[in-house]
Structure 1
Amino acid sequence: MKEACLWQDTSPEPMPDLPDLEGPQASDVIVVGGGITGLSTALHLAEAGTAVTLIEAGEIPSGGSGRNVGLVNAGLWIPPDDICEALGEADGERANAILGAAPAKVFALIEHHGIACQATRSGTLHLAHNGQGERELARRAEQLQRRGAPVDLVEDEACWGMLGTRRIRRALHDHRAGTLNPVAYTRGLARAAIAAGALLYARSPALGVAREGDGWRVATPRGSVTASRLVLATNAYSEEEWNQVRQHFFPGHFFQVASPPLSDALAGDILPQRQGAWDTRMVLSSMRRDAEGRLILGSLGRGDGRPASYVRCWADRIQRHYFPQLGRVDWECTWTGRIAFTPDHTLRLFEPAPGILAATGYNGRGITTGTVVGQGFARYLTHGDDALLPLPIRSPKPIPAKPLWSSCYEGGFTLYHTGQCLRVLI
């Protein structure tokens, strides 16, 4: 089992051939970060006729935009009523509406720009792993249906037919959602942004940001860009001391394991409609099939740096619990991505300084949230209108005790996975 991201190896969209940034340049807007948020911002700005320059520290993509599960999910991590409780009624319902419609925005971009990212639109499945989970899904379903969302609970034979396992008797089917190859989607956004006139540079990490007249100057190892406005789209990969985004989230991780391609004769009854799924466990397990039939399992926590035997043991335990019909699986590869968490599980959109926009705290919903935030940022920068953003621009306080939050989360994930490997938990 090699440590490598499956999506990189199987992307139908090629890696864009981008230059390094060299010498001084000027633009209307600088975007730092070549993930989904940054590329969506650059694409929509360029389509509006705004000169935009995007710089990425590595290749596109190199962060969480290419290392996630590839679920095109609607909404936030928490149920709609909880969102309203956390954000207030007006802001909560605004977030529910805009993020509930976000999968349609993603699929519209894919179709309009011809992005080859193996997209499916058969929905996603939230799986109740026990009685408490069934009650939680019933609560979510009621809240979503009350808001007109096309979701339904599938049970017993119908549920088993969609999943290929009898371990789950109830699931919440969200028809708005789907799956894709996240590396291919991100590269497709880059291709579309370049075609629209955006300037993209790779291998050009931002070394610092400084005031330059009425605007901002971003320095890279071999060049610089000046502009009147700046977008920090670094999210969970904000590490530098100068980057104020790092004060507004605490990092967590999500690891995945992929099998070799499985024949339909062997695994055709497992997620036959290619929905992505995840369960209601305290430390969830995710599962999906890719375009070539691989089974991909994942969970919260780090897989990188751990012994392969540990990761394999966990994957074997989950696979044999849900899909014993596969027998022994020789896992092909494993990879880990980073998530920007917030204590209330809601995102943050803010201005660290006049002329700078920033976003973070997607809490594992990066594909859809990053896409609509990028579109909203572009509208805000060109028209001064924040109506397309899921939340108004705020001035949140930094998150206190960030290392403690991260340590508690990762420690809890590790203990839970160890319990699964030892067959104490499942």
Structure 2
Amino acid sequence: MTAPTPTTLESVRSPLPREANMPAVAPGFGSLQSFELMQRAANLLASSTLVPAAYRKTIEKTDRYGNVTESRENPNALANAVVALNMAQRMGADPLMVMQNLYIVEGRPSWSSQWIIAAINGCGRFSPLRFEITPLGRKKVPYTSFEWKDGPNGRRVREERRQDVDIDDLVCIAWALERGSDTRLESPPVSIELAVKEGWYTKNGSKWQTMPEVMLRYRTASFFGKLYAPELLMGLTTVEEAADIVDINPDGSYSVNRTTLDEMRAGRAQPADEVPRTAAAEPAASTGDEPAAADAQPSHDDDTGQGGPEDGHLQDGFQFNESGLVQGIREDIASATTPEDLDLARSAISGVSDEATKAELNAAASARMRAIAAAADEQPQRQQQQRAGAPRRPRAPIGAE
């Protein structure tokens, strides 16, 4: 039995505050006090402008001069901050550092590759991570792509296309020495040819084409961490891996099949007299030559960024108005009646350049999805009530005859 704390004259004159006599509480989900403390900490971080947009209470839309033109509340900010705080507590890491390197992709968090490399180097179990890159020469690699075309019943169907791409092949291996045994541990090799066959290289806007050596190091570091230190990653993938599957926006939202749906949008926006031009360009693209580059006008080069109006850009050789895309997405979200229709509208959000507009469209799509789900849940009950409340046909009295 613990001895009672002796009472002195000084303690009676200057008693300690009530909080000093309370037991220490750590943020978490184990008790009411710990959960309330975690919510208070999450509320503090969600009010900061240093955290990414997915964790902020208020999402602000700015013009090109940086002036705030519109602001709205983010209903998921507090919940996202609580999840990030929980992960930081379990890993013993700083909450702000976790938020800066954690991305929410389709409801599953993903780490940045820099975080994974830093975690492997700082865990103390391995020597600093090193990379070996070996050139394999130039080669032609076949790959399969898909495009959408108009079907016989009015719906668009996906067709498979087989093409070849010329690459300067490289192979990379991440390795480190295990502390205590000096055993060399290596990751599985990753090459540019593998990136082409997996579809990472040929995605629209893929970093594999512009910075292949960086992406090779990131991917091999992820494989190394998954094999030899999965507890550091907590079973999560890297944001680069997730970007090769779905398209991630900087505000933490995501969209699926960006290239395919961009093609669908472009095909729907083209006038009828331009269809033969697009159809004629397809056989030329499969020959390996570059006639498309010759047909493009120099004044509209996407790399210079000098062509087109401020709110538009070039897409498939045609001027693309971004404000029209935003309006079309809003109309598609409002008119969606099934989850498939909503997914189609949601996937086109990746073509919007303004991050605040992206967040607004994703929030509208989430609200529409909840409405569709609620309507689907109410429909069976409504039908049952209609069957139960249907009046019976009156029966005629039986005659004496």
Q: Same fold (TM over 0.5)?
A: no
More helix by share: 2
Which structure has more relative contact order (CA 8 Å, sep 6+)? It is 1
Q: Which has the larger radius of gyration?
A: 2
Normalising by structure 1, report the TM-score: 0.19
